[in-house]
Structure 1
Amino acid sequence: MAGEIPDLHAQERTGTGKGAARAARREGLVPGIVFGGDVDPLPINIPFNELLKRLKAGRFKSTLFNLKVDGHDDVRVICRDVQRDVVKDLPTHLDLMRLRRTTKINLFIGIDFQNEDECPAIRKGGVLTTVRTEVELIVTAGEIPDLLVVDLSKLEDIGDTIHFSDIDLPPGVKPVIHDRDFVICNVSAPSALKSDTDEDEVAADEVPATEMSDGEAEGEDGDDKE
């Protein structure tokens, strides 16, 4: 289970309705509601700056949070909606859903690239290129993996690639995209080596006129005399 679920701090909102929501915004707070989990909905306020920072970081709606509200037990939540001002595009309200341990959700799980020092392809002078550092998966809220492990020691030669299908997924974890075996990483030749190779190929294709054989030159002269 994941060990670093980020905390999301909020405070209980005493009033409800448009008046209380407007008052919260004037105080630099964003009103919201926490629902689900066979428990009554809980109206909350979240500091505007904290919420905006998390929204700018990306994937707010696919991140599992540990919601901390004074006077209430911590609960795992995921965002189901963020309402924004139609002109300023700033958050004005959010909906958070409580999760049971058995709830299936879509989350982005990071990738841990291991054994880089033992990778034969890198030892041969190859350069590791990471195409993806995280993958969206369907996971159970109570059994979220910390990371997906990629063993780089399996890359034997320059040009070798690791695809998603090469990763051993933990039990109960499934990919969101079933029919696409995308690239996770590969080992390519150094850019300097590629440049030298390209230049050699161009040079081989170009034959200067001064290097033509005497026979070829004489043949051309003979054609002119006829």
Structure 2
Amino acid sequence: MAGQIPDLEAQVRTGTGKGAARQARRDGLVPGIVFGGDKEPLPITLNFNKLLTMLRAGRFKATLFNLKVEGHDDVRVICRDVQRHVVKDLPTHVDFMRLKRTTQINLFINVEVSGEEECPGLKKGGVLTLVRPEVELVVTAADIPESITVDISGLQIGDSATIANVKLPEGAKPVIDRDFVIAQVSAPSGLASQDDEDEDVAADEVPTTEMGPPDGEEAKD
């Protein structure tokens, strides 16, 4: 489960519009907006370097933050969108949504794998494929997991682990309302190719029977 909720410091953005946003970026800030709840949207700015560090660390959109803005009460928020420069791929604007502890939201949660050392399929040369490195879950704002774990310790070659094999955090459930594959252990490509060749050879080795002369004709010497 997620640990202590990290703080996210921001300042109130006094100006609005494209001109104010451009000036904020020149000052080393990233403009943003906080919306949702029963309050009016709040324009903010964040330190560019600190924001970039958090974005590069990963899981930014799957993290619940305690937003601290001078002159305003602390509020729990989650990032809903990060707009980036089309060429430099750097953040140019960030949208945050206010949350209550009981609010349910959809988030993509990272998948981790356990049991690789014990997996009999891998010991036999099988190859692990993580079909879904992330799974979209409905989670409660107060209980956002950092990740979910799929156990492959019992998989043989050709077996799969599905979402039904994953122990989800209390209150969390998949967005997809059916069982689906998370990871699978496949035969190595060389072995798979050999199996295909063996099947082709078997198909070619169909026994033939001698055909006698047509009815009413005698065989010629």
Q: TM-score surpassing 0.5? A: yes
Match of 1:13 in 2: 12
Match of 1:107 in 2: 107
Change (3 A) 1:224 1:25: farther
Report the 3-state secondary structure (helix = DSSP H, G, I; strand = E; otherwise coil) of the residue aligned with 1:185: strand
Report the 3-state secondary structure (helix = DSSP H, G, I; strand = E; otherwise coil) of the residue aligned with 2:201: helix
1:196 is matched by which residue type in structure 2? Q
CA RMSD in angstroms, aligned pairs only: 4.2
Give the Cα separation in 1 of the matches to 2:92 and 2:66: 19
CA contact (8 A) 1:64 1:76 kept: no
Shift of 1:195: 1.8
Give the Cα separation in 1 of the matches to 2:187 and 2:137: 31
Alpha-carbon deviations, 1:25-70, whole Å to 9, x = none? 333433222244556654321345766787799986x433425557
Identical positions, percent: 58
1:194 is matched by which residue type in structure 2? A
CA contact (8 A) 2:162 2:180 kept: yes
Shift of 1:75: 4.5
Match of 1:132 in 2: 132
Shift of 1:184: 0.8
Shift of 1:2: 0.9
1:114 is matched by which residue type in structure 2? S
Gaps of 5+ in 2: none
Match of 1:194 in 2: 192
CA contact (8 A) 1:31 1:94 kept: yes
CA contact (8 A) 2:67 2:76 kept: no
TM-score scaled by length of structure 1: 0.71
Q: What is the 5 A alignment of 1:30-69? A: 30-36=30-36, 41-47=41-47, 62-66=61-65, 69=68
Shift of 1:137: 0.2
Give the Cα separation in 1 of the matches to 2:205 and 2:121: 36
CA contact (8 A) 1:161 1:183 kept: yes
Alpha-carbon deviations, 1:85-117, whole Å to 9, x = none? 899998654331222211111111222221222
CA contact (8 A) 1:148 1:169 kept: yes
Give the Cα separation in 2 of the matches to 1:162 and 1:134: 14
Give the Cα separation in 2 of the matches to 1:52 and 1:147: 22
Change (3 A) 1:123 1:13: same
Shift of 1:149: 2.3
CA contact (8 A) 2:64 2:144 kept: no
Give the Cα separation in 2 of the matches to 1:113 and 1:90: 31
Match of 1:165 in 2: 164
Q: After the TM superposition, which of the residue ranges 121-130 and 73-82 deviates more from structure 2?
A: 73-82
Report the 3-state secondary structure (helix = DSSP H, G, I; strand = E; otherwise coil) of the residue aligned with 1:205: helix
CA contact (8 A) 1:64 1:107 kept: no
Match of 1:79 in 2: 79
The count of residues paired between Structure 1 and Structure 2 equals: 217
Match of 1:120 in 2: 120
2:190 is matched by which residue type in structure 1? A
Give the Cα separation in 2 of the matches to 1:83 and 1:111: 25
